[in-house]
Amino acid sequence: MLRLTRKLMFAIEAVVDIAYNSGDHPVQSKDIAERQGIPRRYLEQVLQHLVRADILRGVRGPRGGYRLARERRRIPLGEIVRIVAGMETDDEDEDTGSDLGRVVLRPLWQDLQEEALVKLDAISVEDLCRTARKAGIDSTTKKSGDFNI
């Protein structure tokens, strides 16, 4: 089920924050939490799922933190949405409810979700960073390129 939850917003904000503020050093979760106003207990859980899904890389050590696992332009927003949706458990049984709900409303909702995901797949993290730059949002780095070495 596609829902705009706090956890989803935290995940998107964290990935864009890492992309937007990464420089020579990994971005630390405490800095992300502070900049984005995300409680660290939620943030760490989301970041670990994004590491397992190969969106982020965790870097250990005293100057450790998180980096993107891929180029910003190669991380679609739809992928982040699917990862977070997979974290959430939906107790709704497909066989419950009325015929109207099962036969008419659920298929309609599923079609709308698929359309939304197609649109989200067309938006990359790089697109969101570009929008943030145009909006004049400060970055801890002036880096504007999209490359990994």
Q: pLDDT tens digits for 42-83?
A: 899 999 999 999 999 999 998 899 999 999 999 999 999 999
Strand pairing category for 65-68 and 56-59: antiparallel
With beta carbons less than 8 A apart as the criterion, state whether 70 and 124 touch: no
Q: Which CATH number does the domain housing residue 99 bear?
A: 1.10.10.10
Residue 50, pLDDT score: 97
Q: State the residue range of the domain holding 14.
A: 6-134
Instruction: For residue 109, tell me if it sits in a domain.
Output: yes
Instruction: For residue 144, tell me if it sits in a domain.
Output: no
Distances in whole angstroms, Cα of residue 16 to Cα of each of 66, 100, 144: 12, 40, 13
Instruction: For residue 56, tell me if it sits in a domain.
Output: yes
Question: Considering its fold, how many domains does the chain have in total?
Answer: 1
With beta carbons less than 8 A apart as the criterion, state whether 12 and 80 touch: yes
Instruction: For residue 139, tell me if it sits in a domain.
Output: no
Predicted confidence (pLDDT) per residue in 128-147, tens digit: 999 999 999 998 875 545 44
Q: Could you tell me which of 47, 41, 56, 65 has the C-alpha nearest to residue 11?
A: 47
Instruction: For residue 27, tell me if it sits in a domain.
Output: yes
